Amino acid sequence: MAAARPFRLRPPRHRLDRRAVGWWSARAVLLALPPVLLLALLAWLIEPARFWLAMPACVLAVPGLAYLLVMPHWRYRVHRWETTEIAVYTRSGWFWEQSRIAPLARIQTVDTLRGPLERMFGLATVTVTTASARGALTIAGLDHTLAEEIAERLTEQTQAAEDVTGDAT
């Protein structure tokens, strides 16, 4: 019997779709803009409290703008993914980077998700659920067609691994 090739943690090869930068930027705007706009509107409407409402609006706007300008590009440089005949590799994060490997024999389900913003940008997320206490691996920011192909391929490879080992858990 041939010795099994060991899994080793290494940087995954593939970048996400470049449109992920726009998707993350849109999410950042939707996160940061509403409280700033609400406070600015209240400051405009309520004369006696104008300063006390405008000040927090400015305080929230500065880090919100920094987040919008830095985070999407930083995350794009960090996030990677790869699937091989033996495992799924991912790297994600932006302050705290996380690298993970999921052996195909441990994969239980493979799902795709396309939220409204992801659909607008033509993107999708692949979620690989394993028999791990760390939870599922996610590859967010993939072209939606590629995500469907990956999900299909992983499902086929997982089924083949299950047939060989007798159990995918």
Q: What CATH number has the domain bearing residue 120?
A: 2.30.29.210
Residue 9: pLDDT band (50, 70, 90) is low
Does position 2 have pLDDT exceeding 70, yes or no?
Answer: no
Q: Are residues 96 and 134 in the same domain?
A: yes
SS3 sequence, the chain?
CCCCCCCCCCCCCEECCCHHHHHHHHHHHHHHHHHHHHHHHHHHHCHHHHHHHHHHHHHHHHHHHHHHHHHHHHHHHHCEEEECCCEEEEEECCCCCEEEEEEHHHEEEEEEECCHHHHHHCEEEEEEEECCCCCCEEEEEEEHHHHHHHHHHHHHHHHHHHHHHCCCC
Residue range 70-76: average pLDDT? Answer: 95
Residue 5: pLDDT band (50, 70, 90) is low
Residue 8: pLDDT band (50, 70, 90) is low
Q: Are residues 68 and 98 in the same domain?
A: no
Does position 133 have pLDDT exceeding 80, yes or no?
Answer: no
> Is 94 among the domain residues?
yes
pLDDT in tens, 77-93: 999 999 998 899 999 98
Q: Are residues 50 and 88 in the same domain?
A: no
Does position 166 have pLDDT exceeding 70, yes or no?
Answer: no
pLDDT value of position 161:
63
Domain of 38, in residue numbers: 20-75
Last residue in a domain, options 75, 92, 118: 75
Sign of CA dihedral 107, 132, 95, 24: positive
Residues 71, 28: contact at Cβ < 8 Å? yes
Residue range 29-51: average pLDDT? Answer: 93
pLDDT value of position 14:
95
* Entry pTM: 0.83
pLDDT value of position 113:
96
What is the average pLDDT value for the chain, to the nearest integer? 89
Q: To the nearest whole percent, how much of the chain has pLDDT over 70? A: 89
Last residue in a domain, options 40, 55, 75: 75
Residues 91, 140: contact at Cβ < 8 Å? no
Q: Are residues 85 and 69 in the same domain?
A: no
Domain count, the chain: 2
